[in-house]
Structure 1
Amino acid sequence: MKRVRTAVFPVAGLGTRILPATKAMPKEMLTIVDRPLIQYAVEEALEAGVERFVFVTGRGKSALVDHFDIAYELETVMTSRGKSLDRLGGTRFQPGALVSVRQQEPLGLGHAVWCAREIVGDEPFAVLLPDDLMVGKPNCLAQMVEAYEKVGGNIVCAQDVPRERTQSYGIVTPGASDGPLTEVRGLVEKPQPEDAPSTLGVVGRYILQPEVMAILGRIGKGSGGEIQLTDGMAELIGTQPFHAFTFAGERHDCGDAGGFVVANLALALGRADLAPRVRAFLASRD
């Protein structure tokens, strides 16, 4: 079984759910407390053992790559003033560890993943959607990698979703369950509540085998007129092991204004330096 060394970050989206904040700034650069969403996702992948990082970007997204570059002026000023560079966190890469490819047309998540095919090659790879902020110890991808090393094949992160919201998710047709792992017998993209085979929805983390790339390269447009990753993954079911993994932790949908605000509050309340001030403010509004 090959190790998961590469992670793909589809970051070409327009962020229309949270306009006007994303009119001129990538939604993945929106900050939760004191770091952008993309940094949370990258640090999650680093902690899970990922070594190669592929950003699938679009026009106007150069800030995402710049964030992980060396900032000579900033670092020089910080050092001269006696400030620790630790405050920058995991924002510096060795040359070649981070690669950017361009999704030239907004043709969907499946197409964005396919754009990374030459870099992924013939190895399994992870996909992380940065606007799905996962909070847990060990982190979400680390938990999935541990499960992958036991069962192999393909693994999607999943959670139970309200039936009235199934049309916002890829939904699993479930088979046998073993702890956090559920056999995937089918996948359908954004079904209406009355048509959904379950309420187990796929959320922003995946470990996939490279064979999905050839499928994504030939399938047509699906739900919403886009090339859907769910449709590509569905063709692997029955030919390779396929499981849904229920993450032990919290998920925040930060592509939505309400979820973005809640994520800021939740993470601030988890920090000893910020929690007292936030709690005092919330108490004053009761």
Structure 2
Amino acid sequence: MRIRKAVITAASPSQRRLPLQNLIDRDGQERSVLGILLEEVVRARVEEICVVVCPGDAEHYALVTGDHAGRVRFVEQHEPRGYGHAIHCAREFTAGEPFLHLVSDHLYVNHTKASCATELIEVAELEDCSVSSVQATREGQLKQFGAVGGQRVAGRERLYKVDTVLEKPTPTEAEQRIVVPGLRSGHYLCFFGMHVLAPAVMTILEELLADPRTTTVSLSMALAELARRERFLALRMTQRRYDLGVRYGLLTAQLALGLSGRDRDEILSQMVELMALREMAAK
């Protein structure tokens, strides 16, 4: 398996403007969220990138692709049929190849030189199958993420063979169906927002979308079926994902980027000063 292509979804009404927001990256440069994501992908040696957008948004997105404009093409999602349908809109672009997939309303902050996408792709190419990145997540956040259950791969501390996929499970569902040995009590493996997907995923999405009983299709639905048909793994990430769509999400992501970059000391100094001023005002 060689991963040459990536698909970034940005067509959800709740996320369509987030990738256009500007943040200061770890090098101290002002850059759009989309630009930061493209850099993550390019560092993983991906050659071509497709961004799935709402009709009419491509022009706005093209303005913030920066140095990577030549690698990027845009595809519109004309029907609001769900996250899985948005990925399926890129089927002609992927053309039967495996691909890296990222959501556009998350940022990924690593603490090593290798990017999150690089680590995920290396595992997928080695294992020659679909691999979803996951993160140990507190029970109270289950309503925000899809989650998986399975068993640890022998000899691999952070790699799991997936047997169950649930979309935003309740705590009761999670406790009954996706407890993973070795995790702290009350924690579950939830999607990190980054996947390497085999061509079979596009086939499954097409089958789900063709079912007249189905109005919307999630990626979790396709991945649950994938786990039944072929080997599907999950890689627990040591890095962190930041959901930009939640309250203070952009602020939290900006702080995470800054504190992991060259301006760390300056940011810490400013935070201490703000706290001191707050304490003085309270007296």
Considering the TM-score relative to the shorter chain, is it more than 0.5?
yes
Aligned to 1:148: 124
Structure 1 residues 155 and 285: alpha-carbon distance in aligned structure 2, compared to 1, 3 A threshold: same
Counterpart residue identity of residue 9, structure 1 = I
Question: Where in structure 2 are the equivalents of 1:1-286 lying within 5 Å?
Answer: 2-15=1-14, 26-33=17-24, 34-61=30-57, 62-68=59-65, 91-94=67-70, 97-136=71-110, 137=112, 138-177=114-153, 178-196=156-174, 197-198=178-179, 199-219=188-208, 226-272=216-262, 274-286=263-275
Aligned sequence identity (%): 27
Q: CA deviation at 1:125?
A: 0.6
Counterparts of 1:100 and 1:47, CA distance in 2: 20
Mark the runs of 5 or more structure 1 residues left unpaired by the alignment: 17-21, 69-89
Between 245-254 and 109-118, the greater mean CA deviation after superposition: 245-254
Distance in 2, matches of 1:254 and 1:141, equals 18
2-side partners of 1:227 and 1:4: how far apart? 25
Structure 1, residues 200-256: CA drift from partner, whole Å, max 9, x if none?
1112100011111121122159xx963101101111114322111112212211122
TM-score (norm 2): 0.82
How far is 1:108 from its partner? Answer: 1.3
Contact 2:97 2:198 in 1 (8 A): yes
Rounded Cα–Cα distance in structure 1 between residues aligned with 2:3 and 2:166: 26
Distance 1:187 1:266 in 2: 29
Judge conservation of contact 1:124–1:208 (CA < 8 Å) in 2: yes
Aligned partner letter, 2:21: L
Give yes or no for contact 1:140–1:248 (8 Å, CA) kept in 2.
no
Q: TM-score, normalised by structure 1?
A: 0.82
CA RMSD between the two structures: 2.0
Aligned to 2:69, what secondary structure does the other structure show?
coil
Q: Which residue identity lines up with residue 66 of structure 1 in the other structure?
A: L
- State how many pairs are aligned: 251
CA distance in 2, matches of 1:175, 1:275: 38
Q: Deviations over 1:112-151 (max 9, x none)?
A: 0000001111110111112211111311110011111221
Which amino acid is 1:28 matched to? Answer: P
Q: Report the equivalent of 1:78.
A: none
CA contact (8 A) 1:156 1:245 kept: yes
Structure 1 runs of 4+ off > 6 angstroms? none
My pick for the range that moved more, 5-14 or 176-185, is 176-185
Amino acid at match of 1:255: G
Distance in 1, matches of 2:240 and 2:139, equals: 19
- Secondary structure at the residue paired with 2:248? helix
